[in-house]
């Protein structure tokens, strides 16, 4: 373990851009998120009120939406982009509309993703763009392709349209010189996504990392997949680019495995997941010349470990193949302290109409309440800063 450490408990840096009123509001919201009962009631109430057409969008926008989203449009995100940029933290604009199903919706989402790349182009405050394949593709088709099922003519046509949309996005990202993440999703559709991401990396990562695949390290097979993907990249002469995450669908994955009678693809516990994540980071560091990676985590220990290993190995803080990332509204102690110490750091900033962003916000609330102590840690840090400012 390296002796070099950053002070991730420095709340003066972590909350430097929060006014007293903003900090108090953040504290109130996280207290609610920290209560599973209030969290569940609030999530169900929001869904119910919206389904009845009740005028609650304004309330949602002023509370949880404002904490975790940059705005309803790209333009509304400008204030957040500028604010994060002043702290040397990059913004990743994440169009958070989900659950669409028509070709018209898929094409509309594809066009919006391209707009995020246009907005990011040549703006040093927006280092990455991102998209989810399920935003531009039907789930059923992705599942059939992942399961290697025979496709009828209709499914073949859908596959071609999916491929064309992804190709259009990645080609535009390449022409714009804008690095772009392809997010990871559930295991039963991920194989199709991996194949598409690999094809795009092979085509567009010849000179520099442009297309990044995402690896969920709570999966039992991802460390081996990382090694295999690296070998494939070396054999074909392109740079492997990966975003490393722990994973977001644990309960859903385990429930499906139990229902369908196959072995769970998820590691048994947090300790095993942490070990897998850190092993993946180690592997990327060992091959930093031909792997670009993003440590996308709120885990302080993993972040501290990577910082220490970079220091011990003499890897520059601003190495072009190493990035850190957290979600907007969370992990400010990591993001702001990393940026203050000159490491490449960014925030995922979701945006979209309030009504369409509700599924994302509910999932974020549920993940936060079930995450191992994450919200409690956030609350402790906010409380510490409130006391430092003499507000408690």
For the chain of 392 residues, list the mean pLDDT of each consecutive stretch of 10.
Answer: 93 97 92 65 60 70 87 97 98 88 95 98 97 95 95 96 98 98 97 98 98 98 98 98 94 95 96 97 98 97 98 97 96 98 97 83 61 74 96 90
pLDDT given for residue 2 in this prediction: 85
pLDDT given for residue 372 in this prediction: 46
Domain ranges of the chain: 100-296
Residue from 345, 350, 325, 370 nearest 67 by CA: 350
pLDDT given for residue 34 in this prediction: 75
pLDDT given for residue 322 in this prediction: 98
Please report how many Cα atoms fall inside a 13 Å half-sphere around the Cα of residue 114, on the Cβ side: 16
pLDDT given for residue 62 in this prediction: 81
Cβ contact 158:165 at 8 Å: no
pLDDT given for residue 50 in this prediction: 63
Question: Does the domain at residues 100-296 carry the CATH identifier 3.20.20.220?
Answer: yes
pLDDT given for residue 40 in this prediction: 58
Question: What's the Cα-to-Cα distance from 48 to each of 51, 182, 206, rounded to whole Å?
Answer: 5, 32, 49
Stated length of the chain: 392
pLDDT given for residue 237 in this prediction: 98
Q: Say how far apart CA 229 and CA 198 lie, in whole Å.
A: 8
pLDDT given for residue 51 in this prediction: 67
Cβ contact 142:106 at 8 Å: no
99-102: which pairs have CB atoms within 8 A and are 24 or more residues apart? 99/359, 100/135, 101/138
What is the CA 208 to chain-centroid distance, rounded? Answer: 21
């Amino acid at each position: 373990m390296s002796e070099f450490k950053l002070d991730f408990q420095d709340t003066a840096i972590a909350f430097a851009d929060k006014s007293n009123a903003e900090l108090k509001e953040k504290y109130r919201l996280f207290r609610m998120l920290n209560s599973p009962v209030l969290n569940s009631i609030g999530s169900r109430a929001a869904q119910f009120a919206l389904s009845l057409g009740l005028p609650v969008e304004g309330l949602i926008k002023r509370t949880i939406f404002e904490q975790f989203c940059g705005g309803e449009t790209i333009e509304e995100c400008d204030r957040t982009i500028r604010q994060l940029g002043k702290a040397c933290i990059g913004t990743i604009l994440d169009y958070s509309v989900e659950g669409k199903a028509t070709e018209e919706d898929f094409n509309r989402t594809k066009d919006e993703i391209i707009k995020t790349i246009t907005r990011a182009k040549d703006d040093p405050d927006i280092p990455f763009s991102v998209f989810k394949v399920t935003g531009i593709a039907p789930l059923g088709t992705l599942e059939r392709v992942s399961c290697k099922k025979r496709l009828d003519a209709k499914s073949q046509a859908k596959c071609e349209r999916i491929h064309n949309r992804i190709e259009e996005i990645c080609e535009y990202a390449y022409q714009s010189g804008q690095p772009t993440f392809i997010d990871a999703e559930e295991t039963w559709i991920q194989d199709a996504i991996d194949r598409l991401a690999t094809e795009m990396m092979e085509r567009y990562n010849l000179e520099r990392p442009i297309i990044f695949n995402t690896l969920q390290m709570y999966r039992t097979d991802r460390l081996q997949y990382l090694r295999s993907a690296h070998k494939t990249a070396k054999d074909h002469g392109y740079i492997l680019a990966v975003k490393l995450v722990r994973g977001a669908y644990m309960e859903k994955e385990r429930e499906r495995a139990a229902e369908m009678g196959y072995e769970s693809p998820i590691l048994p516990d947090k300790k095993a997941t942490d070990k897998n994540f850190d092993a993946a980071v180690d592997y990327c560091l060992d091959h930093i010349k031909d792997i670009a990676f993003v440590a996308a985590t709120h885990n302080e220990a993993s972040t501290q470990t990577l910082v220490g290993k970079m220091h011990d190995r003499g890897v520059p803080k601003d190495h072009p193949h190493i990035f850190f990332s957290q979600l907007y509204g969370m992990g400010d102690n990591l993001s702001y302290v990393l940026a203050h110490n000159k490491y490449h750091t960014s925030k995922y900033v979701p945006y979209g109409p309030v009504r369409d962003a509700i599924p994302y916000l509910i999932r974020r609330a549920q993940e936060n309440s079930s995450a191992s102590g994450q919200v409690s840690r956030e609350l402790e840090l906010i409380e510490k800063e409130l006391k430092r400012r003499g507000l408690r």
